[in-house]
Amino acid sequence: MQRILLKELIEWKNSNDRSPVMLDGARQVGKTYLVEKIFGAKYFNKVFKLNFEDNPAAKDIFSGSIKADDIIEKVSLYHQADFNAETDLLFFDEIGLCEQALNSLKYFREQRPDVYLCASGSNIGLINRYPVGQTYEMTLYPMSFHEFVLASPNKPMARAFENKDRSSTTHELLRELYRQYLYVGGMPAAVNKWFASLSPLIKKTLEIRKLQNDLITGYIRDFGKYDINNKSLAANLEAVFRNVPKQLSNSVDTSVKRFKFSKVIRGKAGYRDFQSLIDYLTSTHLMSKSQIIEGKPPQPLSINHGESRFKLFSHDIGILHALLSIPYKQVIEQSFSYKGYAAENFAQNELLSSGINATYAWHSEGKAELEFLICNANGDTIPIEIKSGKNTKAKSLDAYLKIYNPPIAYKFCDLAGGVQRNVVHTRPLYYISHAAKSIREEWEIEDYF
């Protein structure tokens, strides 16, 4: 399966100033497969891999000197083959489980910048002694909708998506794929099974849900590794993890509300009680946060001080529906009453996987709410409104435009789009990644999608 992040890995390989790659991401999003089976297999003669989870003995390589040349020599002995820095890739998998391997990245950066070295892990955000400034940071998210389309056997559809085709024929086909994606999600194992399975539809949907539930079980088991001496902590992490979908589902066809701390864990009711739990879940990329801005957006948006007011979203829309036990038929028909939250969670994930590092929501005295504010390449604040259906009336967006007069605005809905009123660009929701790329990279308004 194709992953968009491969392009960035290739650019890293071809660069002159090359720090070791640190690839972050939740469990089972495909980090190992991307580095070893796609990037390593296609662009290197051999991959010298050390997996610190599957083979703890690999840690012994770092028990003595961790200077770069010494590590290369011991890795060669371990693999019983000579490492060639010009043609081979060195890969430290689940590096967060070996502190000395983490420390060695500094020496590779300083002593052997010619070595192609990638490291990955699912607990990188929890590391206390992180080699700041010594690595090239990348994050792999679950497969985006673009990658889902690429995995589809309908190759002309992938070309239509990349060409931003908004004809009625293309719209109906992409709309159908989008609804399938809402159920399947972007976990690579689920996507592969969805397109490869020859089972009848009903059986295939049950196979996908079984796989998703197994992934959820695995995540919950990982909570026990956070602090093996504190069982209540693992239980509290699970409570928050399961509560986020429940709170999201309370949004009918309105914007998702801020996360409420009450009634999640008995005896805990404030932000300080939940801060470490939420930090864990966002650091391991099982959830993402969208900070709420009240009133006039600050410049830059990152100086917003309302740290206790935010929305929480699931890292994968398929996992979210599995946690809520919503069956395929309801998802595909968009018949469940709280469908608005699904569109917003989808949009949040698409923005993050498109390189938007932080998202914000806008509230105005309880009278207007916008789902997203993000910064463009010029530092301007761009408002985005998400509509789950075909109703394109956007009172909150109109209110924001009247007060703050942004250079451009987006409205995403269930229509093919194309209507442009003043600065507002109306587009189909499944194309939000194209808009995110424009916002992140373009300097001229005329170039925006």
Inform me whether the pLDDT recorded for 264 exceeds 50.
yes
The pLDDT > 70 percentage for the chain reads 95
DSSP 197: -
Given a cut of 70, whether residue 226 has pLDDT beyond it is: no
Q: Is the peptide bond before 300 cis (omega within 30 degrees of 0)?
A: yes
Better pLDDT: 337 or 417: 417
Query: By percentage, how much of the chain surpasses pLDDT 90?
Result: 74
What 3-state DSSP class applies to 435?
helix
CB contact at 8 A, 342 and 178: no
Give the model's pLDDT for residue 338.
Answer: 47
The stretch 416-440 carries a mean pLDDT of 88
Tokens 């961790």, residue located: 66
User: Residues of CATH 3.40.50.300 domain(s) within the chain?
Assistant: 6-139
* Predicted pLDDT at 449: 83
- pLDDT one-digit tens code per residue, 315-349: 999 999 999 999 999 998 876 554 689 999 999 99
- Better-scored residue on pLDDT, 418 or 313: 313
Class of the CATH-defined domain 6-139: alpha beta
- pLDDT of residue 46 exceeding 60: yes
227-248 confidence digits (pLDDT tens): 656 678 899 999 999 999 999 9
Strand ranges, E, within 7-121? 21-24, 46-51, 88-93, 116-121
| Strand order through the sheet with 368-375 | 310-314, 287-294, 359-364, 368-375, 381-386, 409-413, 424-428, 420-421
Q: pLDDT confidence of 445, banded at 50, 70, 90?
A: confident
Given pLDDT bands bounded at 50, 70 and 90, which one contains residue 165?
very high
How high does pLDDT run on average in the chain? 91
Q: How far out from the chain centre does Cα 342 lie?
A: 15
- What is the structure's pLDDT at 303? 86
Between 3-12, 226-235, 262-271, the lowest mean confidence (pLDDT) is in 226-235
Interval 22-32 mean pLDDT: 96
Beta strand 116-121 with 88-93 is parallel
Longest dimension (CA), the chain: 68
Q: What is the pTM of this model?
A: 0.94
pLDDT tens sequence across 57-116: 899 999 999 999 999 999 999 999 999 999 999 999 999 999 999 999 999 999 999 999
Residue 123 has pLDDT above 90, yes or no: no
Q: Is the dihedral of CA 35, 38, 44, 48 positive or negative?
A: positive
Region of residue 417 (left: phi > 0; alpha: psi -120 to 50; beta: else): left
Chain centroid to CA 140? 7
